[in-house]
Amino acid sequence: MNVLFVGDIFGRPGRTAIRRLLPALRNELEVDLVIANCENSAGGKGVTESIGRELFEAGCDLLTGGNHIFAQRGSEDFIEAEERLVRPLNYPPGAPGRGWMIHESQAGPLVGVINACGRSFMGPHYDDPFRAIDMALEEIRPQTTIVFVDFHAETTSEKVAMGWYLDGRVTAVLGTHTHIPTADERLLHKGTAYITDTGMTGPYDSIIGDSKESILEALLTQRPKRFEVAEAREVSLNGVLISVDTNNGAATSIRRIRREL
């Protein structure tokens, strides 16, 4: 089984890359399932119902979130109702939506997907992601051994720690949030695929998706500045392709994927 995980989709340029590149990429790589992080898909922060539908129609099967998932006004109803989307499971109790899912694909085996936020430099409002994932796995593992974890975190050390913590218990631990693809993709000792950051799908002629001018002005003046999605000069789709042994849920390979628009 081949699963393509697409890194953070950023604004309109990222959505354009998905529409124009993903259909051919699915055929080229013989992809059975596409999981994509959508938490920056609406103007660089959050997701809306119409954008979620757009991503599904373009070929994304499942969507994951992150710390900006609720940034768009009115998105809570969509996040609550859409069973193909997960937001970080370690939000405080009562948050709309779900933090994990089991996808019942007609073309393959059951697949579990978990989304979690790290806590280092991510704000004080997240519960412990390690224990939260443990609790989710207690419900998922009796149903399927194929489990993908989108760990949305700031620091490399916390992401690496999560990889080793879950080694042998999930199929893959895939880092998101920092938007810069890392070169440390590997299979851990017990069969879990790992990468610290899958990168961004969006405008790379930018500062992690936003215009260079708006970010530099904020840094130089230390005054509030509205960040703007960068113009679509250099746009690319980034992610990883994971091959899975469906008999035991272990990953057999992981490789970075990058396509220019």
Active site residues: 68
**Assigned token pair, 160:** 């690496």
* Distance set, CA 236 to CA 33, 54, 175, 200, 227 (Å): 20, 18, 18, 8, 20
CA distances from 8 to 68, 85, 158, 167, 174 (A): 11, 14, 19, 23, 11
Residue 76 to residue 65: CA distance in whole angstroms: 13
3-state helix, strand and coil shares in percent for the chain, rounded to the nearest 5: 25, 30, 45
Classify burial at 240, counting beta carbons within 10 Å of its beta carbon; exposed 0-12, middle 13-18, buried 19 or more: buried
Check residue 73 and report its DSSP letter: T
Sequence letter at residue 201: T
Helices (H), the chain: 11-29, 49-58, 75-81, 129-140, 156-166, 212-221
CA separation (Å) from 65 to 7, 16, 229, 232? 11, 19, 18, 23
Enter the tokens of residue 222: 């230390």
User: DSSP assignment of 152-196, as one string?
Assistant: E-S-HHHHHHHHHHHBTTBSEEEEESS-S--S--EE-TTS-EEES
